[in-house]
Amino acid sequence: MSEDPRLETGSSLERATADAVLDLARRAADVDGVEAVSEAFRLALTSGRGEVTHVLAYAGGSLAGYAARDGSGSAELVVDPSSRRQGAGRALLRAVLDAGATGVWAHGDLPAAKGLAADAGLVSTRELHVMERPVRDGDDVDPALPEGFSVRAFEPGRDEQAWLDVNRLAFASHPEQGSITLEDLHERMAQDWFDPAGFLLVEDTTATSDGGAHPLAAFHWTKREVGSDQGEVYVVGVHPAYQGRGLAGPLTGLGTAHLARQGVTTIELYVDGDNTRALATYRRAGFEDAAIHVVYGPAPAP
Ligand SMILES: CC(C)(COP(=O)(O)OP(=O)(O)OC[C@H]1O[C@@H](n2cnc3c(N)ncnc32)[C@H](O)[C@@H]1OP(=O)(O)O)[C@@H](O)C(=O)NCCC(=O)NCCS
């Protein structure tokens, strides 16, 4: 017999409750092979910062599941492996949607998440591909750029504004990335992993601005956590005026060559499923899907 879960909703959690949720999330990740609660939501659990609504599901007096919605309307949800198929997931999903969630992440898009979303009448509204490829012999050699372009490393204190401008234009249709501010950029530059040598700027050497600088045409920002043997294609962008001129392939290769020279053995990246040009570029560069994370939400109005 299944019993109705009891739900508790709040904007902050006691430390012991947050720890119990983290334990539950760890048990689920062991069974599912993927984390249901992302880093941002894990931080919100313990810091109490951000506009987060937490929902706890109890069954038979113990914690059976957890869901949360952040200020942007994104939600995540997880049910303890020992409490599944008893209605907790359905109740938590309804609660976060009632609390204003517009999309629920299904990391790894597991069969149970697909089933729960279908049960609730939700559809896939966003797919985030995690792509990966091993580093092979010869990857450490820089590819040639088309004529008229050259590459150099980002210089802190000099290149911030030019980069922000190109990033905004290149990601005009991906506001999450395109709306990055100088403050956000500084925050990333203050991280341990930040290395200007891995933040590559491609300039148009056939033109000069009023100040005598070459215009920034494209960039490839790579990332490698300190000591990690995995590198990441962190952000790649081409100024719209320079799109369609064969920069994407060599631009990708310049970053992967830099990472290969750092000694990484695999390279990963995250790309939205609707970014067909980027997906095609990465597939051509040998990247394959390692996982797909899906956001489920109400079907858009016809
Ligand atoms: C997805 C998850 C939250 C479901 O939790 P749950 O408490 O087991 O779900 P419920 O018991 O409320 O199931 C409600 C309905 O979802 C569907 N469903 C749930 N698990 C399913 C499974 N393994 N396979 C197919 N459909 C499933 C069914 O339609 C089910 O109704 P039914 O039991 O009457 O057939 C849970 O498996 C989980 O924590 N997975 C890892 C995290 C995750 O993927 N979160 C994203 C959710 S969008």
Distances (CA, A) of 148 to 30, 116, 131, 144: 51, 53, 31, 11
Q: Does one domain contain both 166 and 272?
A: yes
Q: Does one domain contain both 248 and 177?
A: yes
Tell me the pairing of strands 149-153 and 103-106. Answer: unpaired
pLDDT recorded at residue 3: 60
Centre of ligand 1 to C-alpha 61, Å, is 21
Exposure pattern of 32-67 as b/e (b: 16+ CB <10 Å)?
beebbbeeebbebbeeeeeebbbbbbebeeebbbbb
pLDDT recorded at residue 165: 97
Q: Among the three residues 63, 87, 121, which one is the final residue of a domain in this structure?
A: 121
Q: How far apart are CA 102 and CA 149, in angstroms?
A: 43
Q: Does one domain contain both 99 and 166?
A: no
For residue 296, being part of any structural domain is answered with no
For residue 59, being part of any structural domain is answered with yes
For residue 194, being part of any structural domain is answered with yes
Number of domains in the chain: 2
Q: Does one domain contain both 157 and 209?
A: yes
pLDDT recorded at residue 43: 81
For residue 297, being part of any structural domain is answered with no
pLDDT recorded at residue 280: 94
Question: 159 lies in which domain range?
Answer: 132-291
Q: How far apart are CA 41 and CA 282, in angstroms?
A: 29
Ligand 1 neighbourhood includes 106 CB (under 6 angstroms): yes
Closest CA to 84 of 38, 22, 18, 24: 24
Q: Does one domain contain both 183 and 38?
A: no
pLDDT recorded at residue 209: 81
Q: Nearest residue CA, atom 23 of ligand 1?
A: 112
Q: Does one domain contain both 167 and 211?
A: yes
Q: Which residues contact 278 (CB under 8 A, 6 or more apart)?
A: 236, 248, 271, 272
Q: Does one domain contain both 178 and 265?
A: yes
For residue 26, being part of any structural domain is answered with yes
Ligand 1 neighbourhood includes 153 CB (under 6 angstroms): no
Q: Can you give the CATH number for the domain in which 142 is found?
A: 3.40.630.30
Distances (CA, A) of 54 to 11, 83, 166, 275: 6, 19, 37, 32
Q: Does one domain contain both 95 and 173?
A: no
pLDDT recorded at residue 1: 45
For residue 136, being part of any structural domain is answered with yes
Q: Does one domain contain both 102 and 165?
A: no
Q: Among the three residues 74, 91, 121, which one is the final residue of a domain in this structure?
A: 121
Q: Among the three residues 121, 144, 174, which one is the final residue of a domain in this structure?
A: 121
Please, where are the H alpha helices in 62-127?
88-98, 111-119
3-class DSSP assignment, residue 266: strand
Q: Does one domain contain both 116 and 140?
A: no
**DSSP state at residue 213:** P
Cα atoms in the 13 Å half-sphere on the side-chain side of 201: 23
Centre of ligand 1 to C-alpha 186, Å, is 41
Answer yes or no: is 35 a known binding residue: no
For residue 158, being part of any structural domain is answered with yes
Q: Per-10-residue mean pLDDT for the chain, 302 residues long?
A: 80 94 97 91 80 94 96 94 97 97 96 98 96 97 97 98 97 86 92 96 92 93 96 96 95 98 97 92 96 94 82
Q: Does one domain contain both 29 and 164?
A: no
For residue 222, being part of any structural domain is answered with yes
Assign 3-class secondary structure to 114-168: HHHHHHCCCEEEEEEEEEEEECCCCCCCCCCCCCCEEEEECCCCCCHHHHHHHHH
Q: How far apart are CA 46 and CA 53, in angstroms?
A: 13
Q: Which tokens is 188 given?
A: 């990333």
Instruction: Read off the amino acid at residue 217.
Output: A
Return the CA Rg of the chain: 22
Centre of ligand 1 to C-alpha 86, Å, is 9
- Give the DSSP letter string of 222-241: EE--TT-SEEEEEEEEE-GG
Q: Does one domain contain both 159 and 283?
A: yes
Ligand 1 neighbourhood includes 115 CB (under 6 angstroms): yes
Ligand 1 neighbourhood includes 79 CB (under 6 angstroms): yes
